[in-house]
Structure formats: C-alpha cells, structure tokens
Amino acid sequence: MMDIFSDITIENQQVNLHLPNGISLYLKREDKNHPFVSGNKLRKLKYNILEAKKQQKNTLLTFGGAYSNHIAATAAAGQLMGLKTIGVIRGEELCDKIHENPTLRFAQRCGMEFRFVTRTEYRLKDSLEFLNNLLHNYGTDVYVLPEGGTNILAVQGCQEILISDDASFDVICTAVGTGGTMAGLINSSFPHQKVLGFPALKGKFLEEVIKKYVSKNNWKLIHDYHFGGYAKINDDLIRFLNNFNEKTNISLDPIYVGKMIFAIFALANRGYFEPNTKILAIHTGGLQGIAGFNERRLRKSKEILNYV
Ligand SMILES: *Cc1c(COP(=O)(O)O)cnc(C)c1O
C-alpha cells in the first residue's frame, strides 16, 4: 500500500525579513509535507493510523469544528490509507450547509461521513456515554481519535519533526492548540534549546496537558498572542500576514501559524531574544482553512488575506 508517512524530508527556509540584534528566523516547512494531509496533522495521524491498521480497524472516527484542519487531514489520510472516516462535527445547523464550507466539502469528497451534533452534545464528546452511543451506531471496527488528534501516539509522531541537523538552532517555536505538537517538539529538542509555544486560544490548562507528555523543562508557553481567543483576529494581524506574504511569498494561516510569527516579530522587536539568536519556527500548515476564513470575512465585508 502507498504509505503517506514514509520519507518525509522537510526544508528549513530562512525568512529574509529584518529582525533586530542579528536574530535570524527559519521556518520548517511542515506545511509542505503532503499535498492534502499537510502540516502537523500528518505527524499526529501517523502512529494512530498504523495502530488502527494493527488493530484491524476499518474506520477512523474523530471530532472537529466546521473549519478544522484535523477533520480535513483525517478525511484525506483515511482515503489514502484505505480507511473509512467519520467526522463528528460541532454545529447541527451545518448539516445542510456543507456546500458552503470548503473544509467540509473537501472532507466529503475524500469520503468522510458526517455526524452533526449540537454544541451541547459536542461538549460531552469525551464522556463514555456519548462515545458508547456513537460506537453503538458504527460498530466495533472504529478507531477513535480525539479532537485535534492529540494522544500519546500523536506526540510520538510529532517527535519526528525535529532532526539532528536542527541542533544548530537556539529556540524552537510552535503554535499550540491542544499541545500535542509542542509536547513532541519538547521531547526531541536538544538540551541547549528552548521550546516556545504560542497558544492560539485562551486558557491556562495547556501547561498541565503538556506536562502529561514531557519530562523536560526547557519550554515555556507565551499566552499574550491569541488575539482574544481561538479564531479571533484583528486588522493588525491581517495586515501583518498580507505584508509577510508579499515580502516572502510564504502563506501563513491566521488561526495558528500567523499568530505565532506575529508574536516572534513583536517579541524580537522588544528585546525578548538574546542577540544573534537562531530561531526555528515550525510552519504547522493549516492553509486549507484560508478559503473558508476569507469567505466568512467577505460576508462581513472585512479585509481578507490576499493569498491562499
Ligand atoms: C492543529 C494545529 C496546531 C496545533 O497543534 P496541537 O498539536 O493541537 O497543539 C497548530 N498549527 C496548525 C496549523 C494546526 O492545524
């Protein structure tokens, strides 16, 4: 069978924009690791899909919002690896609006079956009763992935993002959602490196989640750049991202990676990093979400991202 997980080679690309004090910034282009399953979600799916195969499951079931990168990646990876996929989607009103949503359209084309649930039901998704009900409908051949895809096998996959050549960097930066990617990076970081995480959402619970998966303490979460919460943005961020794209030709998503890169420039400009620090920021992907993001912005007659 075609294996979407073997032989991934990723380039570190220098960002040729001015940073003060001799600081340099490189992007690890994980967004290019696969055309459809791109970014950290490919890494998080790898050992889970291998485990599902080992357990002879034929279906992946997972959870997500209407524009979820994890939903898109699971749908595509399932199709490529010969597994059926079921997406439990937050928001029952989306049921007859699939055609209006690029993420759901894509997932459906990959063969994903949807189960739309109310926000109240969705909040119960980690309860045993909710899961048992679901599995009752779908049978025993189902392998369940949590929302955002984070579990111990996902962390294992994310440990493969850093390689020995990356030892030359002083600071590793990543955007944080559920914390799985950052945990993997911490586990494979070198002792002289510091791993900085930039949560894309409000809340102090992430420290505890990450601690479950790591034993080192060369890391820190910087909570000042979520722009008000998950998927919240402002005009400064949009302008920054359009300008960044114009000057570098690199596309950043506005939910995760864009906020992190904005933060790195802001921190560098206020003297946060030592002179000559070499920073490696992980481009975790998420570009599939830009189309849906722009559609929502257009409906509100707001400025959009001038790239995909
Ligand atoms: C999901 C996602 C993240 C967050 O990853 P976690 O492992 O959930 O912290 C970061 N960037 C992008 C583009 C993502 O899609």
Domain locations in the chain as residue ranges = 12-34+152-299, 40-145
- What is the separation of C-alpha 196 from the centre of its chain, rounded to a whole number of angstroms? 15
Is 251 part of the annotated catalytic residue set?
A: no
pLDDT band for position 140 (cuts 50, 70, 90): confident
In the chain, pLDDT over 70 holds for what percent of residues?
99
Q: How far is the CA of 30 from the centre of ligand 1 (A)?
A: 11
> Could you tell which of 103, 174, 256 is best to mutate to test the pocket of ligand 1, judged by most ligand atoms within 8 Å of the CB?
256
Q: Which atom of ligand 1 approaches the CA of 148 most closely?
A: 8
Q: What is the pLDDT of residue 2?
A: 54
Q: What is the pLDDT of residue 171?
A: 98
Residue pair 273/21 in contact by the 8 Å Cβ criterion: yes
Domain formed by 12-34+152-299, architecture:
3-Layer(aba) Sandwich (3.40)
Average pLDDT over every residue of 137-151: 90
Average pLDDT over every residue of 238-263: 98
Within a 10 A sphere around the Cβ of 264, how many other Cβ atoms?
A: 24
Asked if residue 25 has pLDDT above 90, the reply is yes
Average model confidence (pLDDT) for the chain? 96
Q: Which atom of ligand 1 approaches the CA of 285 most closely?
A: 13
Catalytic pick from 6, 24, 38, 68? Answer: 68
Average pLDDT over every residue of 246-269: 98
Q: How far is the CA of 206 from the centre of ligand 1 (A)?
A: 13
The phi and psi torsions of 245 (rounded to 5 degrees) equal -65, -40
Asked if residue 144 has pLDDT above 90, the reply is yes
Q: Which atom of ligand 1 approaches the CA of 31 most closely?
A: 13
Q: Tokens at residue 70, please?
A: 């994890």
Least confident span in 9-18, 107-116, 135-144: 135-144
Q: What is the pLDDT of residue 220?
A: 98
Q: What is the pLDDT of residue 138?
A: 86
Q: How far is CA 103 from CA 80, 270, 290, in A?
A: 17, 37, 10
Average pLDDT over every residue of 163-186: 98
Asked if residue 1 has pLDDT above 60, the reply is no
The packing angle between helices 69-81 and 102-109, to 10°, is: 10
Least confident span in 4-18, 203-217, 223-237: 4-18
d(CA 226, CA 202): 7
Asked if residue 215 has pLDDT above 80, the reply is yes
Average pLDDT over every residue of 172-190: 98
pLDDT band for position 58 (cuts 50, 70, 90): very high
Average pLDDT over every residue of 67-92: 97
d(CA 108, CA 74): 11
Number of alpha helices (DSSP H) and beta strands (DSSP E) in the chain: 11, 10
Q: How far is the CA of 100 from the centre of ligand 1 (A)?
A: 24
Q: Which atom of ligand 1 approaches the CA of 181 most closely?
A: 7
Average pLDDT over every residue of 245-261: 98
Q: What is the pLDDT of residue 296?
A: 93
Q: What is the pLDDT of residue 204?
A: 87
Q: What is the pLDDT of residue 126?
A: 86
Sheet strands (E) in the chain: 12-14, 24-28, 59-64, 84-90, 113-117, 142-144, 171-176, 194-199, 219-221, 278-282
Is residue 157 in contact with ligand 1, taking CB distance under 6 Å? no
Asked if residue 41 has pLDDT above 70, the reply is yes
Domain formed by 40-145, architecture:
3-Layer(aba) Sandwich (3.40)
Is residue 74 in contact with ligand 1, taking CB distance under 6 Å? no
pTM for the structure as a whole: 0.97
Is residue 179 in contact with ligand 1, taking CB distance under 6 Å? yes
Within a 10 A sphere around the Cβ of 40, how many other Cβ atoms?
A: 34
Average pLDDT over every residue of 203-219: 96
Q: How far is the CA of 136 from the centre of ligand 1 (A)?
A: 30
